[in-house]
A and B are shown apart, each in its own frame.
Chain A
């Protein structure tokens, strides 16, 4: 096997040093009744060339762009990724290293993550961003637990327009605790109804996603004012990070903590993972943040360098008193995001975000013209909800045969919204793709 370098001679001489006769004898401390005596029942080893064929067959049994035209976002967005980003991300010095515990030989990862933290903080309008978390859902769950630690209160209010799958993750995280989750309903305009906040007391945090799951842009500022009146923290979330190339950042609207998904920033959909949990806060809360942080410092000669810092928050020092159990995070995804943000640049991200918005508006307008209802009138970014006539499911299936995926049915997540579909348009969908979609749904 090409990954195992030992020759028979190597094994023989090493066994002699160890003082045993055969490889099996190395396991003398494993009691006999703990030993597995048989052979593992696994498929026979494949050569590299057989593996290529096997994997290609599996990968070909998937519906992906460009053959398929997907109009689905809902937390996983197809955006163009420059070849330079993929290429640089493949540098094995980044890929095959581990958490930079030894900073002197990990300065590449450390500066890159410091730069990611900086660009992420700028994108979100916050002062401090962590080195990364698993995904948007776990970032948000950790953000809420963080708010509970800061305020020493026990309830959180979560908008019903937070991604439904994120809400399920929050529920899992909260289930064993005594903390309570309250849900904020949504208004006919497709944004969160915060009027009930006045009647909720002892709130640690209020979580609102913008753009929300329906694609609508929330007024975080107004919600934040209400939240702050209650001395609770505004936790802003997002699934489409690119939106902040155009929209006001959560930080500029008063968010105290931001937890969301950065997959849009140069990370392929990859069937939903790995993704990039982004988590940011204002400086006053930085010692309550979960997860790794990279800080700037100097070496013995006064030269600039970087280290993992504020480790006294972390599990390897604080064990059960840590701010989180996180160890391995999604560092390489953060690196991809930094490379992507640097590639699009300040000018480019604005243009790209505009293009996403304008394309989605085009499709929205064309569908409206074709007689379909847009139930939520509020402004959206690159996703929006359409109400199709009843029986649309058949049309949806027919479109699948034409290799068009006409959005995501909302009925499974919002039972009251049967025949409602969430459609997404990014820069990867052309006007022709959209015209074809409209033609087909009308047919």
Chain B
């Protein structure tokens, strides 16, 4: 292959914060004291936390060195399946940090927060349009939180119908958050297997759906990167038995402007603004997980809701059937601004183009790598494709080995060992923001790794070699947890 992207350069070791500094140093400009001291009763005061004292330079070097041990989308391709690691536009960061937004207090009168309320109101409208749903609430703080909110809504709906139901259908390809969210809401998740084509069959749902089942949680496109082609028939079966259809919208990036979930039988869904709408993942959040519903579920949405009342926007609380609040305030507003900026920058045409190119990139990778890696479902995919390590099994090279070796070539590995229905899964989601050259380089790296697997498998077992650390002992970490220094 051409020169590898991955190389090794000088990075610096860095101790713990508390191994640095000296008592008496400051990294903070203490505000002027313009009032007299007024000591608090000594019985109430403690010793103060045992924090190190560091200078500003100590801190800046510390975190700069730590940052250099990390890999982000800005560093290179990060094809983590189901996570939609697309480019995070810099103008969005700038807009979110405008002092009018970052300094806004959530509990001042609405008349003082019209700009923020307008952003929330309009983003809800845009998301309604993109999903084909009727109403949106932005309060949930992440995808799984949106799922949980959706479950609360389904629960409240059935309560209003007069009979509570105990089960919910969750396909075997679902994200782990789906059954966990359902369980938090008291539902017993019933697993349904996908068929030989990797999607849900009408028959399987018909055989499972009954009057004690609250509904179904479908991820569409699913985690194999396949569109659930039978979704309308499945929805009809679920609806006929009085159930509701929940869509995990984590994979919406495949179908913006192509499919409106509200038109194909979905009653409630969550979006992940940190996936589809380009807001950064932040090393694991903050995200934002808006929940979108059809008209009949609108009364149950979390409150307050932003409504327009003869001009100004207000925070309306008067929804007696609402599930209540799922977060203290109005959601991850700073993230909401970034998603809003993204949609305003893209417009309808580019959002659709983004989905088309995301699907193009995934199908291109699928075609280019399908001889190299085993492809369990050889059909047109959506925004991601799932391979396995079956071809490498003879050399005793696993998905994990190949993933670790990819790091040496300068790529973040794909999602591995998920979905669970594919043994040794390698789930690649390139997103639309990767160029053909970068993707070609990724493909070439994977092909090189496959030939290394044949010729020198031990090289893979030892990988990665170019990262700050080698493979880590996760077993001891879990057996003898050391969670604080």
Interface residues as binary, A100-130 with B (CB distance below 8 Å gives 1, 0 otherwise): 1111111111011111011101110101110
Contact across chains for A106 and B112 when beta carbons are under 8 A apart? no
Please, what's the 1-or-0 string for A298-321, where 1 marks a CB less than 8 Å from any CB in chain B?
A: 111101011101111011111111
Neighbour of B72 across the interface among A96, A163, A316, A431, CB < 8 A: A96
Residues in A neighbouring B436, C-beta threshold 8 A: 5-6, 10, 13-14
Q: A138-179 vs B: 1/0 string, CB under 8 Å?
A: 100000010000000000000000010110110111011110
Question: Interface-forming stretch among B236-244, B330-338, B387-395?
Answer: B330-338
Q: Are B44 and A217 in contact (CB under 8 A)?
A: yes
Which of B29, B38, B48, B56 interacts with A350 by CB under 8 Å? B48
- Cα distance A54–B302 when bound, in Å? 28
Flag if A321 contacts B115 (CB, 8 Å): no
Question: CB distance B152 to A176 under 8 Å?
Answer: yes
A109 to B68, CA, bound (A): 10
Beyond A248-B44, A405-B108, 10 additional pairs, beta carbon < 8 A: A3-B278, A3-B432, A4-B357, A35-B259, A96-B74, A252-B46, A300-B471, A325-B180, A327-B176, A342-B52
Which of B203-211, B291-299, B451-459, B475-483 lies at the interface? B475-483
CA distance A351 to B51 in the complex (A): 13
Please tell me if the beta carbons of B67 and A93 are within 8 angstroms of each other in the complex. Answer: yes
Within 8 A of A (CB), among B78-125: 78, 80, 83, 85-89, 91, 93-109, 111-116, 118-119
Q: Does A418 contact B (CB under 8 A)?
A: no
Which residue from B17, B64, B102, B280 sits with its C-beta under 8 Å from A96? B280
Interface presence of B435 (CB below 8 A): yes
Among A46, A92, A328, point to the contact of B142 (Cβ < 8 A): A328
The digit string for B113-153, where 1 denotes a CB below 8 A from any CB of A, is: 11110110000001001101000000001111101100110
Contact with B along A74-105 (1 / 0, CB 8 A): 11101010101011101111111111111111
Tell me the dominant secondary structure on chain B's binding face: loop
Query: Chain B CB within 10 Å — which of A64, A305, A431, A432 has the most?
Result: A64
Residue B305 lies at the interface, judged by CB distance under 8 Å to chain A: no
Nearest CB of B to A98, in Å: 4
Contact of B108 with A72 in the complex, beta carbons under 8 Å = yes
Across the interface, do A348 and B53 meet the contact criterion of CB distance under 8 Å? yes
B144: which A residues are within 8 A, CB to CB? 315, 325-328
How long is the Cα–Cα vector from A78 to B107 in the complex, in angstroms? 12
A30 CB contact (under 8 Å) in B258, B472, B474: B258
The answer on a CB contact under 8 Å between B283 and A109 is yes
- Whether A40 lies near B180 (C-beta < 8 A) is no
Q: Which residue of A lies closest to B434 (CB)?
A: A5
From the candidates B54, B63, B129, B326, name the one contacting A41 in the complex (CB within 8 A).
B129
B51, B93, B95, B141: the one contacting A344 at CB < 8 Å is B51
Known: A34-B231, A62-B113, A271-B116. A40 touches B327 (CB 8 A): no
Determine the distance from Cα of A333 to Cα of B283 in the docked complex, in whole angstroms: 10
B35:A362 contact, CB within 8 angstroms: yes
Q: Which residues of A contact B118 (CB under 8 A)?
A: 58, 61
User: A42-B351, A55-B341, A93-B72 in contact; A14/B360 too (CB < 8 A)?
Assistant: yes
Provide the residues of chain B in CB contact with A405, threshold 8 Å.
Answer: 105, 108-109, 112
B9 at interface, CB cutoff 8 A:
no
Closest 8 CB pairs of A and B: A272-B329, A45-B347, A59-B100, A272-B106, A332-B282, A96-B72, A274-B286, A63-B112
- Determine whether A209 belongs to the interface, using a CB cutoff of 8 Å to chain B: no
- The chain B residue sitting closest to A104, CB to CB, is B467
CB distance from B436 to the nearest CB of A (A): 4
Q: Is the CB of B26 within 8 A of A347?
A: yes
- For the complex, is B3 an interface residue (Cβ under 8 Å from A)? no
A59-B101, A137-B328 in contact; A40/B257 too (CB < 8 A)? yes
B24 within 8 A of A: yes
Query: Is B181 part of the contact surface with A, judged by Cβ < 8 Å?
Result: yes
Q: Are B112 and A36 in contact (CB under 8 A)?
A: no
Name the CB-closest residue of A to B83. A98
The smallest beta-carbon distance between B158 and chain A, in angstroms, is 10
Is the CB of A357 closer than 8 A to any CB of chain B? Answer: yes
In the docked arrangement, what's the CA distance between A219 and B142, Å? Answer: 35
Some 5 contacts from A to B, beta carbons below 8 A apart, are: A42-B130, A95-B88, A96-B85, A273-B327, A274-B334
Interface positions, chain B 251-271, Cβ under 8 Å from A, are: 255-260, 263-264
* B162: interface (CB < 8 Å): no
Query: Which of the 9-residue segments A16-24, A190-198, A369-377 touches chain B?
Result: A16-24
Convert B1-38 into 0s and 1s, putting 1 for each residue whose CB lies closer than 8 angstroms to a CB of A: 00000000000001011100101111111111111111
Which A330-355 residues have C-beta < 8 A from chain B? 330-333, 335, 338-339, 341-355
- Please, which residue of chain A has its CB at the minimum distance from the CB of B381? A29
Cβ contact of A129, chosen from B96, B108, B484, cutoff 8 A: B484
Instruction: Chain A residues near B287: list those with CB within 8 A.
Output: 328
A106 and B26 alpha carbons, distance in the complex (Å)? 29
| Contact (A273, B333) CB under 8 Å given A29-B380, A33-B232 | yes
User: Quick check: is A286 within 8 A (CB to CB) of the other chain?
Assistant: yes
A104 x B471 contact (CB < 8 A)? yes
B348: interface (CB < 8 Å): yes
Contact (Cβ within 8 A) B476 A343: no
Contact across chains for B283 and A45 when beta carbons are under 8 A apart: no
A295 to B70, CA, bound (A): 17
Contact indicator A248/B283 (Cβ below 8 Å): no
B160 at the interface (CB under 8 A from A): no
Give the distance in Å from the alpha carbon of A274 to the alpha carbon of B467 in the complex. Answer: 32
Is the beta-carbon distance between A91 and B186 smaller than 8 angstroms?
A: no
Q: A437 in the interface, Cβ–Cβ < 8 Å?
A: no
Cβ contact within 8 Å between A297 and B473:
yes
Pair B27/A345 contact, Cβ less than 8 Å: yes
User: What is the CA–CA distance of A196 and B106 in the complex, to the nearest angstrom?
Assistant: 34
* A443 on interface, CB distance cutoff 8 Å: no
How far apart sit A298 and B36, CA to CA, in the bound complex (Å)? 51
Report A-chain residues with C-beta under 8 Å of the C-beta of B147.
325
A39 contact from B109, B112, B348, B404, Cβ within 8 A: B348
Using A169-B325, A273-B327, A311-B478 as known contacts, say yes or no to A31 and B229 having CB atoms under 8 A apart.
yes
Name the interface residues of B382-415: CB closer than 8 Å to any CB of A. Answer: 382, 403-404, 407, 412-413, 415
Chain B residue with the shortest CB-CB distance to A425? B35
Pick from A180-188, A199-207, A226-234, A239-247 the stretch touching chain B.
A239-247
Cβ of B67 and Cβ of A94 under 8 Å apart? yes
Kindly list chain A residues whose C-beta atoms are within 8 Å of the C-beta of B258: 27, 30, 35-36
Contact of B283 among A136, A244, A335 (CB under 8 A): A335
Q: Which residues of B contact A115 (CB under 8 A)?
A: 16-17, 485
Docked-complex contact B330 and A310, CB < 8 angstroms: no
B289-320 contact mask (Cβ, 8 Å, vs A): 1 or 0:
00000000000001000000000000000000
Chain A hits for B53, CB < 8 A: 345-348
Known contacts A244-B46, A312-B478; decide if A55 and B34 are in contact (CB<8 Å).
no
Q: Name the distance in Å between B398's Cβ and chain A's nearest Cβ.
A: 15
Q: Which residue of A lies closest to B96 (CB)?
A: A270
Q: Is B363 an interface residue (CB 8 A)?
A: yes
Known contacts: A23-B356, A62-B100, A97-B283. The answer to whether A30 contacts B259 by CB under 8 A is: yes
Cross-interface CB contact of B102 among A54, A269, A428, cutoff 8 Å? A269
CB distance from B192 to the nearest CB of A (A): 14
